[in-house]
Structure 1
Amino acid sequence: MGRRSYVKAAAVCAVGILTASGCGGGGQEGGSGDRLSVVTGVYPLQWLASQVGGDHVDVENLAGPGTDPHELELAPRQIGSVGNADVAFYIGGLQPAVDDAVSSQGGDNALDVADLVELRTLEENAGSSGHDHSEGEGGHDHGHEESGGSADESGHEEGHDGGHEESGGEGGHDHGEFDPHMWLDTERFTAAAEGLADRLSEIDPDHASDYAANAESVTGTLGDIDTEYSEGLAECDSRDIVVSHSAFGYLAHRYDLHQISPTGVDSHAEPTPARLAEVAETVREHDIGTVFTEPLSDSSAAETIASETGAKTAVLDPVEGVAEKSPGDDYPSIMRANLTTLTEALGCS
């Protein structure tokens, strides 16, 4: 029972509605009754909440193992869990079902990552990274400085009309103007950890020092991963990553990579034949040797591009969940496996 649920039950007991025996169970020490309840919508936030909360929280992730979080639908029990939780920790705009549950059931328990972290817009992640991909770095000049979206190689941006029309796709979800995949930027993920620790400390001040220490430990882990990426991707023959869907904008921006995708941020958007042909031509023109697939989402478009161009395929995991085909079993191991895949595919030294 979460702390919000316990407080509700205690209030009912106080006015004598419940019997003495009925009220006794909720206030016993030990077990989950002593822990805060945190509900998350996507695996990276589940991992973060478990790390920051430690032994003082119970974490329920609404998207089960192997589930594509973009397609999440909630059962009535799960919707109720959002309202009963001490903290509903989510990323607004990523999962419409979670947004709706928070809107209808949540309240002061809602903690949107967008209130803790400065998110980049889809247009920013499809635009300039502030770095120049020159002839001396990666072997060719793209003629533009796009880092994280699905702009084509002539330099114009597709599918960013303010309301976010899926790039190269037909239909799909509207994720709003912000790119929700912030966990692939370790600096932003660190800020989310610190913000969550602050919220847990407000609710449970007796364990504030533990939450702060746990957040510091997470910060160390994320800092190590950031250093490994910065060093591992510093000198590469190529900086182009062709991916199934545009989930890697934050990672591309942080480490000066150029993301190319046949679709936009929605993993289930259908690319147009023209867009597929355009990306395939880019692969040929720039001699891109690897096209990246994903363990959770449909990667048929990426596989088609690889087949048509003779490129290899390799798994690059956006860490949206942990699946049987994931290259690791938790956030740090998947991130490090991704780095190994990138350094091999891009010819980094």
Structure 2
Amino acid sequence: MNVRRRHISAGVIAATTALTLGSLSACSSDSGAADGEGGGKLDVVASFYPLQFLAEEIGGSHVSVSTLTEPGQEPHDLEISAKQTAQLQESDVALYLKGLQPSVDEAIGQSEVRAKVDAATLTSLEKHGNEVGGHAAEHDDEHGHEDEEGSGLDPHIWLDPVRYAEVAEGVGKAFEKADPDNAATYKKNTAALVEKLDGLDTRFEDGLKNAKTKVFITTHAAFGYLAERYGLTEEAINGLDPESEPSANRVKDLEKMAKADGVSTVFYETLVSDKTAKTIAADADLKTDVLDPIEGITKKSRGDDYIQVMDANLKALQTALGAK
């Protein structure tokens, strides 16, 4: 197992301690949700795909997982329906990422769900602007981009396998508390998932270390954590909001930067229009390709799950950056 840079963050301990034994025991006994006398399953609601993936991998056959964000739906734009609000109220565990989906934050905050697990408390978040990676993070304040909460913290932690593994560990501990009868299974499944993520981390590090250029252009500033992890620099056309429009000056700067840094490709994503990316690529005589932020799995996805799509992202980056 590759554990050279991973550690269990203080947030994992704080978050799981906050899930009191009384409320979590009620999840198991009162609702009959956990496997046991009731013969049911732990009812888990995930706010969007990356958390759904963790719940399914860790919970296995002992959990029933549903997601608030349908495949193909842009998670940033999600508005909770009355049906989904009721679904939350009936669930045993709610997994969400505060700051990514304001309507989800509000709904979970007002709900009486027994265990609320905020992925943002299970690892560390940073401020990111349009330019991220290397020493670029030092210039965040120049860009002034903020998330929906106004904190400026970048929520795209799942695109860094190391941070994502920390979140997985926190989710696993929450499941163990919520359903102690199956704690051993959750612990085993969490360890297996973390090992997969460690392997993914190793593939990215080895696959990108000999790249000819370290700079890549994306439409959406979703890959800041990935860039920092592997010594790259992400230049985003838009900020953290995938629907925002770049200024004319930003477009000109990107075209100049592409020539100076030997950039060959403008990346776009599957859930947002590729119009801006293709326009800039055409003007600068660049190629286009997909770099998937994995906010949902659809028929257009280059893989059936998080691991497969991340491996596809690695191949796309290797081609664009001239990595051996």
Structure 1 length normalisation: TM-score?
0.79
Match for 1:192 among 145, 151, 167? 167
Residue 347 (structure 1) aligns with: 322
Q: 1:332 to 1:226 in 2, by over 3 A?
A: same
Give the corresponding residue for 2:198. Answer: 223
Contact 2:132/2:228, CA 8 A, preserved across alignment: no
Aligned to 1:146: 136
Unaligned residue ranges in structure 1 (runs of 5+): 11-26, 130-144, 166-172
Helix, strand or coil: the match of 1:231?
Answer: helix
Aligned residue identity for 2:68: L
* Separation in 2, partners of 1:9, 1:54: 18
The equivalences for 1:16-55 within 5 A come to 29-30=38-39, 34-55=40-61
Which SS does the other structure have where 2:216 is aligned?
strand
Change (3 A) 1:244 1:174: farther
Q: Is the deviation greater in 52-61 or in 103-112?
A: 103-112
Distance (Å, rounded) in 2 between the aligned partners of 1:213 and 1:6:
23
What is the correspondence of 1:3-18 to structure 2 with a 5 Å cutoff? 4=27, 7=30
From 279, 285, 297, give the equivalent of 1:322: 297
Partners of 1:63 and 1:107 in 2: how far apart? 18
Task: Report the CA distance between 1:108 and its aligned residue.
Answer: 4.5
The answer as to 2:165 corresponding to 1:159 is: no
Q: One-letter code of the match for 1:190?
A: A
User: How large is the RMSD of aligned CA atoms in angstroms?
Assistant: 2.5
Equivalent residue, structure 2, for 1:14: none
Task: Classify 1:127/1:249 alpha carbon distance in 2 versus 1 (closer, same or farther; 3 Å).
Answer: closer
Alpha-carbon offset, residue 322 of structure 1: 1.0
2:131, 2:233 within 8 Å by CA — same for their partners in 1? no
SS in 1 for 2:142: coil
Partner residue of 2:308 out of 300, 324, 333: 333
> Which of these two proteins has the greater Rg computed from alpha carbons?
1
- CA 1:68–1:127: 2 relative to 1, 3 Å: closer
Once the 2 structures are TM-superposed, how far is the Cα of residue 191 of structure 1 from its aligned partner? Answer: 1.1
Match of 2:207 among 203, 208, 232: 232
Q: CA 1:70/1:229 → structure 2, altered by over 3 Å: closer, same or farther?
A: same
1:177 aligns with 2:183: no
Displacement of 1:299 in angstroms is: 2.5
Q: Which residue of 1 aligns with 2:4?
A: none
2:83 and 2:28 map into 1 onto residues whose CA distance is 14
What's the counterpart of residue 85 of structure 2? 79
AA partner of residue 48 (structure 1): L
Shift of 1:269: 1.0
Per the alignment, in what secondary structure is the counterpart of residue 66 of structure 2? strand
Q: How far apart in 1 are the matches of 2:47 and 2:101?
A: 7
- Match in the other structure for 2:63: 57
Per-residue CA deviation, residues 26-71 of structure 1 (Å, 9 max, x unaligned), is x9854xxx11011111111100110011111111111011111111
Distance in 2, Cα, partners of 1:9 & 1:233: 48
- Contact preservation (8 Å) 2:93, 2:113: no
**Which amino acid letter does the alignment assign opposite residue 113 of structure 1?**
A
Q: 2:32–2:38: 8 Å Cα contact kept in structure 1?
A: no
Distance in 1 of aligned mates of 2:174 and 2:218: 35
Percent identity of paired positions between Structure 1 and Structure 2:
38
How much has 1:281 moved relative to structure 2?
2.0
Deviates more, 1:274-283 or 1:185-194: 274-283
Structure 1 residues 29 and 83: alpha-carbon distance in aligned structure 2, compared to 1, 3 A threshold: closer
Match status 1:255 vs 2:230: yes
Structure 1 position 264 matched with structure 2 position 239: yes
Alignment match, 2:124: 118
Indicate the SS of the match to 1:247. Answer: coil
Aligned to 1:139: none
Residue 157 of structure 1 aligns with an amino acid whose one-letter code is E
CA distance in 2, matches of 1:237, 1:78: 47
Corresponding letter in the other structure for 2:96? Y
Matched residue type, 2:98: G
**2:255 counterpart (280, 291, 304):** 280
Match of 2:272 in 1: 297
Q: Is the 8 A contact 1:328 1:334 kept in 2?
A: yes
Could you list the runs of 5+ residues in structure 2 that have no partner in the other structure?
1-25
| Counterpart position of 2:217 | 242
CA distance in 2, matches of 1:176, 1:201: 31
